[in-house]
Amino acid sequence: MTTTEKKPVTITMSDRAPLRIDAEAWPVIASALWFDGQIEVQANKKAWIKVREHEDGRLIVYGMYTSNWQGARSLAGGFLLGSPVTEEGTVRALRRVAGVIEMPALADECIGDLPAVELT
Protein backbone atom coordinates (compact mmCIF):
# COMPACT_ATOMS: atom_id res chain seq x y z
CA MET A 1 0.00 0.00 0.00
CA THR A 2 1.38 3.35 -1.07
CA THR A 3 0.42 6.59 0.58
CA THR A 4 1.05 9.96 -0.93
CA GLU A 5 1.77 12.71 1.49
CA LYS A 6 0.67 16.22 0.61
CA LYS A 7 3.34 18.91 0.63
CA PRO A 8 1.65 21.93 2.19
CA VAL A 9 2.99 25.39 1.42
CA THR A 10 1.84 28.47 3.33
CA ILE A 11 1.89 31.65 1.26
CA THR A 12 1.82 35.18 2.67
CA MET A 13 -0.70 37.24 0.73
CA SER A 14 -1.37 40.96 0.34
CA ASP A 15 -4.69 42.24 1.67
CA ARG A 16 -5.91 38.82 2.87
CA ALA A 17 -5.06 35.93 5.18
CA PRO A 18 -2.26 33.55 4.15
CA LEU A 19 -3.11 30.63 1.87
CA ARG A 20 -2.16 27.00 2.52
CA ILE A 21 -1.91 24.92 -0.65
CA ASP A 22 -0.73 21.51 -1.78
CA ALA A 23 2.48 22.16 -3.76
CA GLU A 24 1.78 19.29 -6.15
CA ALA A 25 -1.67 20.68 -7.04
CA TRP A 26 -0.16 24.14 -7.62
CA PRO A 27 3.10 23.66 -9.59
CA VAL A 28 5.46 26.60 -10.15
CA ILE A 29 5.21 27.78 -13.77
CA ALA A 30 7.55 30.79 -13.51
CA SER A 31 10.03 32.17 -11.00
CA ALA A 32 12.78 34.71 -10.50
CA LEU A 33 15.51 34.78 -7.86
CA TRP A 34 18.00 37.43 -6.71
CA PHE A 35 20.63 37.26 -3.98
CA ASP A 36 23.68 39.30 -3.06
CA GLY A 37 27.03 37.65 -3.54
CA GLN A 38 28.15 34.76 -5.70
CA ILE A 39 26.67 31.81 -3.79
CA GLU A 40 23.02 31.72 -2.69
CA VAL A 41 23.63 29.86 0.58
CA GLN A 42 26.11 32.56 1.65
CA ALA A 43 23.85 35.47 0.71
CA ASN A 44 22.86 38.05 3.33
CA LYS A 45 19.94 39.31 1.24
CA LYS A 46 17.63 37.28 -0.97
CA ALA A 47 14.45 37.95 -2.96
CA TRP A 48 12.24 35.78 -5.14
CA ILE A 49 8.93 35.76 -6.99
CA LYS A 50 6.96 32.67 -8.00
CA VAL A 51 3.87 31.99 -10.07
CA ARG A 52 1.90 28.82 -9.31
CA GLU A 53 -0.96 27.53 -11.46
CA HIS A 54 -3.80 25.20 -10.49
CA GLU A 55 -5.26 22.88 -13.12
CA ASP A 56 -8.50 24.90 -12.99
CA GLY A 57 -6.64 27.97 -14.31
CA ARG A 58 -6.24 29.99 -11.11
CA LEU A 59 -2.82 31.56 -10.41
CA ILE A 60 -1.01 32.58 -7.25
CA VAL A 61 1.66 35.24 -7.76
CA TYR A 62 3.78 35.81 -4.65
CA GLY A 63 7.22 36.80 -3.48
CA MET A 64 9.51 37.55 -0.56
CA TYR A 65 12.56 39.61 0.34
CA THR A 66 14.68 38.54 3.33
CA SER A 67 17.81 39.91 4.94
CA ASN A 68 20.13 38.51 7.60
CA TRP A 69 21.18 42.01 8.66
CA GLN A 70 20.18 42.94 12.20
CA GLY A 71 17.19 45.25 12.25
CA ALA A 72 16.21 44.54 8.63
CA ARG A 73 12.67 43.34 8.08
CA SER A 74 11.39 40.81 5.60
CA LEU A 75 8.86 41.83 2.96
CA ALA A 76 6.29 39.44 1.48
CA GLY A 77 3.08 39.57 -0.47
CA GLY A 78 0.99 37.81 -3.05
CA PHE A 79 -2.19 37.79 -5.07
CA LEU A 80 -4.66 35.07 -6.05
CA LEU A 81 -5.94 35.45 -9.62
CA GLY A 82 -9.23 33.75 -10.44
CA SER A 83 -9.98 31.96 -13.68
CA PRO A 84 -9.96 33.03 -16.44
CA VAL A 85 -6.59 34.69 -15.96
CA THR A 86 -5.43 37.18 -18.56
CA GLU A 87 -1.84 37.87 -19.54
CA GLU A 88 -2.33 41.49 -18.53
CA GLY A 89 -3.65 40.46 -15.11
CA THR A 90 -0.67 38.18 -14.53
CA VAL A 91 1.81 40.90 -15.50
CA ARG A 92 0.02 43.42 -13.27
CA ALA A 93 0.14 40.99 -10.31
CA LEU A 94 3.86 40.34 -10.91
CA ARG A 95 4.60 44.07 -10.92
CA ARG A 96 2.53 44.57 -7.74
CA VAL A 97 4.36 41.77 -5.91
CA ALA A 98 7.72 43.15 -7.07
CA GLY A 99 6.65 46.52 -5.63
CA VAL A 100 5.65 44.98 -2.30
CA ILE A 101 9.07 43.32 -1.92
CA GLU A 102 10.82 46.42 -3.33
CA MET A 103 12.55 44.50 -6.14
CA PRO A 104 11.00 45.80 -9.42
CA ALA A 105 13.58 44.10 -11.66
CA LEU A 106 12.38 40.68 -10.49
CA ALA A 107 9.01 41.28 -12.16
CA ASP A 108 10.67 41.56 -15.58
CA GLU A 109 12.71 38.41 -14.95
CA CYS A 110 9.65 36.43 -13.85
CA ILE A 111 7.58 37.70 -16.80
CA GLY A 112 10.33 36.39 -19.08
CA ASP A 113 10.08 32.98 -17.38
CA LEU A 114 6.32 32.61 -17.97
CA PRO A 115 5.24 29.94 -20.47
CA ALA A 116 5.46 31.25 -24.03
CA VAL A 117 2.28 32.33 -25.79
CA GLU A 118 1.96 30.66 -29.19
CA LEU A 119 0.95 32.90 -32.06
CA THR A 120 -0.60 31.48 -35.20
The model's pLDDT over 50-105, given as tens digits with 9 standing for 90+, comes to 999 999 999 999 999 999 988 889 999 999 999 899 999 999 999 999 999 999 99
pLDDT at 85: 92
**Longest Cα separation, the chain:** 53
Report CA dihedral (99, 100, 105, 110) to the nearest 10 degrees.
-110
pLDDT at 7: 86
Residue 1 CB neighbour total at 10 angstroms:
2
pLDDT at 4 over 80: no
The span from the CA of 50 to the CA of 110, in Å, is: 7
